[in-house]
Structure formats: structure tokens, C-alpha cells
């Protein structure tokens, strides 16, 4: 069929489809002849109820939205694979860990916690880090965060935590932020939140990119080998690009510059072939080690320092394909910590135990059916069959008479259906008889969970001085938004147990006196600092995976620009040209180019480092352009490397950019500088608590 033009009574012309494109149909497969006009009684008459094409289209549109996740609603995801480095058959019988070099498909979703699906990407917030492995034995979901601990110890407090951090019930704000009365009121009355609050106020919650965050399983799990031997495990994801964060002012301005900054960054990295990678690390330890630790490994507000139990790297995750459809995949993917495979098992962590119930329950609420596991993104890639039948949106067609088990239909020559298999099937870890749990039914916290401040102190003392200043400043900012003074005082009283100096810094920033210290249920211990907990101590100085913004104008030196872009690419980075207009920039060699971003809409906070390459005339023009002055000023204030040619120097002077080791002329020295952040510059650009 050839292309043909079709005129409607109103004179509009629409092109029919040809053999190169599929025909438009309704949901029953019927070809649709006109998708532009409703069926009417006469040219200007009423729309007819019999228009089933209209009814179907509007009906589906009316029901396109499903309830968003209560938490972790704002998410971005990608397909990829997990590749095992070495066999772990001595530790676990899980098939995914048996054969070195074998690849397992997966789907990973990153998310913010507090905001709704339409909120921004870059608020101060914990990031979810959930991985669905499609293993040969069924789906395994490792559902964690970019922080290794959590706010609470028992799942019964989870609704209270979420209600407190979400928008306040009577006014529905603030959105995607914890800086308000109800959250800090809850925190002030729950000392067990102290460790997590230190993480939440750190730069971990304002990451530069989803590609530069760590991931943690949070809880202590078990690995069980073929002989039934159990090994405790904590799961870690280590980014190949290293850790990297923003500074607070930068995070705020990113929200204005690009609401979808993290989502776009992840999508574009994969789309360009710069596939993000993480290595999977395991902290493995036995019961004896657990018993000798000065805290309880079942307490989800505690971590095991890597210096005490090293992280063993066992494989890598590569994200190499973007979703084909955001709703069908990213929005409908249903993670659940209860999705495990033989060889992986749970512990008695009371927060984990509650999550095992909650996730399954909420998927039914969101996706509307007990058959949500049949949605393609959720379906296992191995065979799955059981006696569960019917239900809303049943998408399979089970055969045979047997929908119960046991049955003896095979005796009559009929298909009896699937059977249990004690050999290959999942069996819960039992342990030795003396380890079996027994005792009275109690609603109580064990005494081993009662130390709420020691690890918070350890985390604080593990940071650089600059990071500690960021944490104190973040606390001042958050508490400055609290209108209830008794809440502010209670928080300060709690944090005197973490650090007298830290509490005093925050109190000074608020202009409040230090209150009496909250009594601690357990003596606060001084653990050795753990350098692994610091971002700045673990940043990798490299350009790989990072982007340099290059500000140009008419007359900019084409040779400098070309050489600079080649050097950036050679170092593993990428670059984007920014100018006062998108089209028709004329360089020094008279070539006319289109740039990647228009100056007013492409601020410097979108880049990891910047270069300014201008002619004398181009500089003079931009000296009266506020966006250009702000471009340089923000790059300097956000502690980034700034490269420049000599003719651009007046622009830097007007922006208040002072000379330091991060402000250099374009060339090899700039390429080296662009791989870093210059935190030593910070005292000269802002006052921290």
C-alpha cells in the first residue's frame, strides 16, 4: 500500500500508513481508519455513544496512572548484567555464585525516598538502590539504599518514620524534604535515628551522579552452602567511578537547572556507551565474629567497619541498556526483599522481617492484582509454575485439571502438575539445636540494641574536617526550618552524646544555648574512625565518566577548543560547548557551529569542571551578561576546576574567581585539575558551621 493523503471534512490532511509501518488498531486488533475525529451525528452534531473507539481510548487514558510508591516514588532504572569473578560454591549454593565468568541479567532502579513521582532528582535525601537478578533459580531482589544503616530498628516504626518525613498532613508541604517540624520531632524522640541522621546530613545524600553512589543491602543476611553451613553477609556495591557528591549550594541550583538531572545523566551515559559499573562486595563473617563485635549485627542502625571485616569483591554489575518504556518497566517493576533463591537466607533483623511482609503487600495495592509477578519486567526468566490460579489480570493460560497438590492424576494418565523438590528447593536455615529461638512472647528491644550514639560518633570522626563542616551546616539548615524550639533543643541534647563539639557548632549556628545532655541508655564508645566512610577520602581523581563544560562565544579560538576537547576525550571524559546562542557561533577560523547548550539554560552546575575559551571581543560582550558572570562564579563556588585562555581572564576577575591550583590555563594542567574538586577553596567562598 502506497502513502496516500486523506482529507477530513474540515480540510485537514492526514497521511495514511504504508507497508513500512504497522497499522493502528484498537486493543482487540481491529484496524482503525480515523484516529483524529470522534463519531458524530452530523458534521456539528453530538458525539455518539456508540463510538467504541473513542470509549476505549478515553477509558484507557482515564486509568493510565497507578498509585505511586509511598516511598521511593521518584525513580530511574536500567537493564544490565552481573558477572561473577570467582566461584563462591564453598560459601553458598546459590546458582548465581557458582561459575566464574557467568553473566546474569538484571534490572536496577535508583530512587529518592521522600518525594513523590513528580519531585526533583537532587534534594537532600537517601537514595534507593534496588537490583533484580533474573537467576536460573528464580528472581533475587537485593533491595537496599546508598547508606548502609537505617533510621529505625523495628519495622513497626516504619509507618511513623515515613509519616513524619513526608509532607505535613494538614498542609501537604514540604515536598521531598526533611527540613520541617514533624520529621525532626520524630527524630528528637527516637535516639536510635542518631547514626542515620549523621549520614543523612552528610554529602552522601546530595550525590553528584547516580553513577557515583555506593549501594548497600543494609541488613545482615545469610549465605548457606550445599552442606547447610551458614555465613553471615553484608552486601556492598562499589562504583567503578568512585564516590562523588555535590556541595549544598550546587544541589540547590541543580534543582532549578534540571529537575531530571540524575535521570538524564544515567540515561545519557548508557545511551552514549559509557556504561555505569559497580563491583559487588561481600562482608563475610561467622557467628564467633558476630558475637565479638561491640554491637549487634541484627541491629539495622549499625554497620561493620570495612577495616574490621574487609569487603571481598566477587563480581561486577554493568548497566548497558535503557528501558524501552518508563511505565512498563521502571514504574511497574516490583522489588521485594522476600525474593531470594536457595543459598541466600534471612536473619532475625526485626526491620528486615517487617519488610518481608510489607513489600509484597504494597505491590498488590499498586499494581492491582496478585498476578503482578507476570508483568514482563517482574517475571522470572527461568520456568515458573505452581497451583496458584485465576485472580485479576491472569495473563497465563494454565492447562490441565489439577489445581491442587498433592494429587494422583498421573495414576489416571493425566498431567499431575508440578511437584515439590526437597533436593533443589529452598529450605530455611535451621542452625544447630542449641541455636533455635525460644522464649516468652515479648514486645521488647534487646539490650544489645540500646547503644544509639557510638557509631554516629564513629561516622562523624571518619569524615574530613571539610565533610564535618558540611554536616554541621546541613544540621543548622534543617533545624532552622523547624518552628518548634523544644524540638531543636531536644535534637541538640541528643547530639551532645555524639559529639560535644558538633552539638556546640550546630547550637551556635542556630543561636541557641546548649541544653542538658540526653541520658544515654548505654555508655558511648569511641570506635576507631573508618576511612571507608568518607566520600572525600575515597574520591577517584579521573575524568572518566565526567563532563566538562566549555564556554565559548563568537571569535573563540577554534584550535584551543579542538585541542581541549581531544584531551578531555583522551582522558576518558566528555565535553559540551555552551554559548550565548545555540546556532551560528562563528569561531576564529570562520567556521560556524551549533553548540550543545544555550548559556542561560545551561549553567555551570551541570558540569564536573569548566573551561572558558573566549576572544577579547567575546569576553567584552559577556562582561555585561549576568549568566556568564554567574557561570564562572558558581563553578568557583562549587569548588570545580576552571580552565581559561588569557583573553577570558577579565570575565574571571569580574566573577571574583581568585587564583588557586584549580584555576589554570587550558592545557595538560587543566586536564589534571578537572579530575578533582578543590575543597580547600571552600572557606574562601562560604561560611560553614
Please give the positions annotated as active site.
Answer: 72, 145
| Max Cα–Cα distance, the chain, nearest Å | 93
Please tell me what DSSP assigns to residue 441. Answer: -
The sign one gets for the Cα dihedral 604, 610, 612, 613 is: negative
Residue 344 exposed, middle or buried by CB count within 10 Å (0-12, 13-18, 19+):
buried
Q: Cell numbers 533545624 label which residue?
A: 479
Q: Is 215 helix (H, G, I), strand (E, B) or coil?
A: strand
The C-alpha atoms of residue 612 and residue 664 are separated, in whole angstroms, by 11
In order, the DSSP letters of 380-422 are -SS----S----TT--S---SS--SSS--GGGGTS-------T
Nearest one of 567, 685, 578 to 636, comparing CA atoms:
685
* Residue 361, all three cell numbers: 503487600
The C-alpha atoms of residue 239 and residue 271 are separated, in whole angstroms, by 19
* Residue 161, all three cell numbers: 518514620
| Contact in structure between 124 and 110 (CB atoms under 8 Å) | no
282 φ, ψ (degrees, to nearest 5): -120, 130
Cis, bond preceding 141 (omega within 30 deg of 0):
no
| Rounded CA Rg of the chain | 29
| Contact in structure between 267 and 318 (CB atoms under 8 Å) | no
Please tell me what DSSP assigns to residue 536. Answer: G
The C-alpha atoms of residue 360 and residue 356 are separated, in whole angstroms, by 7
Sheet holding 642-644, edge to edge: 597-598, 574-579, 547-551, 609-612, 642-644, 663-665
Would you put residue 326 in left (φ > 0), alpha (ψ -120 to 50) or beta?
alpha
Cα-based distances in Å from 39 to 10, 52, 490: 14, 9, 66
**Ranges assigned E (strand) in 305-361:** 312-321, 344-345
The C-alpha atoms of residue 176 and residue 194 are separated, in whole angstroms, by 21
Cα-based distances in Å from 26 to 54, 58, 280, 393, 586: 10, 12, 46, 19, 51
Nearest one of 574, 571, 567 to 549, comparing CA atoms:
574
Q: Cell numbers 574512625 label which residue?
A: 529
The C-alpha atoms of residue 300 and residue 575 are separated, in whole angstroms, by 42
The C-alpha atoms of residue 250 and residue 583 are separated, in whole angstroms, by 28
Would you put residue 655 in left (φ > 0), alpha (ψ -120 to 50) or beta?
alpha
Beta bridge partners of 215: 237
Q: In this structure, how many other beta carbons lie within 10 angstroms of the beta carbon of residue 589?
A: 10
Amino acid at each position: 500500500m502506497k502513502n496516500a493523503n486523506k482529507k477530513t471534512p474540515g480540510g485537514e490532511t492526514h497521511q495514511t500508513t504504508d507497508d513500512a509501518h504497522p497499522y493502528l488498531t484498537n486493543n482487540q486488533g481491529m484496524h482503525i481508519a480515523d484516529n483524529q475525529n470522534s463519531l458524530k451525528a452530523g458534521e456539528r452534531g453530538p458525539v455518539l455513544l456508540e463510538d467504541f473507539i473513542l470509549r476505549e481510548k478515553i477509558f484507557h487514558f482515564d486509568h493510565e496512572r497507578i498509585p505511586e510508591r509511598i516511598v521511593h516514588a521518584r525513580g530511574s532504572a536500567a537493564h544490565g548484567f552481573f558477572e561473577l569473578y570467582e566461584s563462591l560454591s564453598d560459601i553458598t549454593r546459590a546458582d548465581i555464585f557458582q561459575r566464574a565468568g557467568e553473566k546474569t541479567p538484571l534490572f536496577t532502579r535508583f530512587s529518592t525516598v521522600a518525594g513523590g513521582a513528580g519531585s526533583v532528582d537532587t534534594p537532600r535525601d537517601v537514595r534507593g538502590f534496588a537490583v533484580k537478578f533474573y537467576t536460573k533459580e528464580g528472581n533475587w531482589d537485593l533491595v537496599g539504599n546508598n547508606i548502609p544503616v537505617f533510621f529505625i530498628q523495628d519495622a513497626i516504626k516504619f509507618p511513623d518514620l515515613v509519616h513524619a518525613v513526608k509532607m505535613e498532613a494538614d498542609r501537604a508541604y514540604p515536598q521531598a524534604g526533611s527540613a520541617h517540624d514533624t520529621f525532626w520531632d520524630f527524630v528528637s524522640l527516637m535516639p536510635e535515628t542518631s547514626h542515620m541522621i549523621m549520614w543523612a546530613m552528610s554529602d552522601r545524600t546530595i550525590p553528584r551522579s547516580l553513577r557515583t553512589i555506593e549501594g548497600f543491602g543494609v541488613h545482615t543476611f545469610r549465605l548457606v552452602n550445599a552442606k547447610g553451613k551458614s555465613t553471615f553477609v553484608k552486601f556492598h556495591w562499589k562504583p567503578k567511578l568512585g564516590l562523588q557528591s555535590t556541595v549544598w549550594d550546587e544541589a540547590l541550583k541543580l534543582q532549578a537547572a534540571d529537575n531530571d538531572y540524575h535521570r538524564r545523566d544515567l540515561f545519557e551515559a548508557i545511551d552514549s556507551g559509557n556504561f555505569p559499573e559497580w563491583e559487588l562486595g561481600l562482608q563475610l563473617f561467622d557467628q564467633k565474629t558476630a558475637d565479638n563485635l561491640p554491637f549487634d549485627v541484627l541491629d539495622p542502625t549499625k554497620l561493620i567497619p570495612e577495616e574490621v571485616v574487609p569487603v571481598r569483591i566477587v563480581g561486577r554489575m554493568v548497566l548497558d541498556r535503557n528501558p524501552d518504556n518508563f511505565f512498563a518497566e521502571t514504574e511497574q517493576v516490583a522489588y521485594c526483599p522476600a525474593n531470594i533463591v536457595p543459598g541466600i537466607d534471612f536473619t532475625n533483623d526485626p526491620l528486615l522481617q517487617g519488610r518481608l511482609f510489607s513489600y509484597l503487600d504494597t505491590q498488590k495495592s499498586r499494581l492491582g492484582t496478585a498476578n503482578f509477578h507476570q508483568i514482563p519486567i517482574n517475571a522470572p526468566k527461568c520456568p515458573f509454575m505452581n497451583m496458584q490460579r485465576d485472580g485479576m489480570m491472569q495473563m497465563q493460560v494454565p492447562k490441565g485439571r489439577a489445581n491442587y497438590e498433592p494429587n494422583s492424576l498421573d495414576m489416571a494418565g493425566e498431567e499431575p502438575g508440578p511437584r515439590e523438590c526437597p533436593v533443589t528447593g529452598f529450605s530455611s536455615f535451621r542452625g544447630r539445636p542449641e541455636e533455635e529461638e525460644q522464649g516468652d512472647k515479648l514486645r521488647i528491644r534487646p539490650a544489645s540494641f540500646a547503644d544509639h550514639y557510638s557509631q554516629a560518633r564513629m561516622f562523624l570522626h571518619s569524615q574530613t574536617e571539610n565533610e564535618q563542616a558540611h554536616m554541621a551546616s546541613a544540621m543548622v539548615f534543617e533545624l532552622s526550618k523547624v518552628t518548634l524550639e523544644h524540638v531543636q533543643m531536644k535534637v541538640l541534647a541528643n547530639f551532645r552524646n555524639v559529639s560535644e563539639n558538633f552539638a556546640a557548632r550546630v547550637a551556635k549556628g542556630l543561636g541557641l544555648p546548649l541544653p542538658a545532655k540526653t541520658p544515654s541508655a548505654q555508655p558511648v564508645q569511641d570506635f576507631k574512625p573508618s576511612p571507608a566512610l568518607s566520600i572525600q577520602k575515597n574520591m577517584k581523581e579521573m575524568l572518566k565518566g565526567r563532563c566538562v563544560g566549555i564556554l565559548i562565544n563568537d571569535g573563540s579560538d577554534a584550535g584551543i577548543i579542538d585541542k581541549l576537547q581531544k584531551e578531555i576525550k583522551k582522558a576518558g571524559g566528555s565535553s559540551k560547548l555552551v554559548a550565548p546562542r545555540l546556532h551560528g557561533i562563528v569561531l576564529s577560523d570562520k567556521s560556524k557551529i551549533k553548540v550543545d547548550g544555550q548559556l542561560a539554560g545551561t549553567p555551570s552546575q551541570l558540569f564536573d569542571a569548566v573551561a572558558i575559551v573566549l576572544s577579547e571581543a567575546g569576553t567584552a560582550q559577556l562582561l555585561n551578561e549576568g549568566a556568564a558572570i554567574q557561570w564562572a562564579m558558581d563553578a568557583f563556588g562549587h569548588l570545580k576546576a576552571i580552565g581559561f585562555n588569557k583573553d577570558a581572564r577579565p570575565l574571571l576577575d569580574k566573577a571574583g574567581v581568585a587564583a588557586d591550583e584549580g584555576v589554570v590555563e587550558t592545557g595538560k594542567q587543566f586536564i589534571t585539575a578537572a579530575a578533582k574538586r578543590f575543597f580547600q577553596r571552600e572557606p574562601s567562598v562560604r561560611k560553614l558551621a
